[in-house]
Amino acid sequence: MRLLTVLVNLALVALGAGNALAASDHRSEIDLVVPDLTQVSFMGINGHTLLLSGLGVCVLGLVFGLVIYGQLKNLPVHRSMREISELIYETCKTYLITQGRFILILELFIGAIMVVYFGVLQAMPVVKVATIILFSLIGIGGSYSVAWFGIRINTFANSRTAFAALEGKPFPCYAIPLKAGMSIGMLLISIELLLMLIVLLFIPRDFAYPCFIGFAIGESLGASALRIAGGILSPAASSRRSPTSGPT
């Protein structure tokens, strides 16, 4: 009997909390509006100008990743090792193409869910729902391009590391995979920050958060579907599987 009384009281409390929540003006991050960046300053620098300078930093990060890519590609490598790394890349390229089709099919289902949730349940304007879906596709493209870049540069690093290991010197075996990882990470961060800065600087302030939400959904979808490829093709893992690889 005492247990029944406790359960009834809990139900009444939950019902009262639910009614209070329904009566309140509930808002989420989708309702947030980015403040006017021209009205704020940091150390005397206008907020809009400060973020504009961030675009240059992102471009430098992209250049850094591409420069490392060229350096690794031009490192000396044995012909047989290069052929094996190219074979691995062709296999992974087929995997990426297949996964890209699969991700687009998933996006159809997730896009339908986003339309129902944001357009019907949240009663958002059609243009904002379309913005979320558009930026989810941009997020998928970002994850997909970084995954492709990572697989390509890792296959370079695998064969070059294996060839460098034949000299018996430990530093190249450490430095080559490190540079590959640095270039992938820098490219990923630069792409994400570049898109965020573009949204903050050039997209209407009331559309910024729909853009961010769509990008987060798409990027998470792409990253989760492509995570297997990234795990398989780390420089150390792939070089261990190569029959001509040296120690890493």
Instruction: Read off φ and ψ for residue 40, nearest 5 degrees.
Output: -120, 160
Instruction: Read off φ and ψ for residue 41, nearest 5 degrees.
Output: -145, 155
pLDDT in tens, 125-172: 888 889 889 988 988 888 888 888 888 888 888 888 888 888 887 887
Nearest Cα neighbor of 236 from 186, 147, 176, 183 is 176
pLDDT in tens, 13-46: 444 444 444 444 556 666 667 777 777 777 777 7
pLDDT in tens, 201-235: 888 888 888 888 888 888 887 777 666 544 444 44
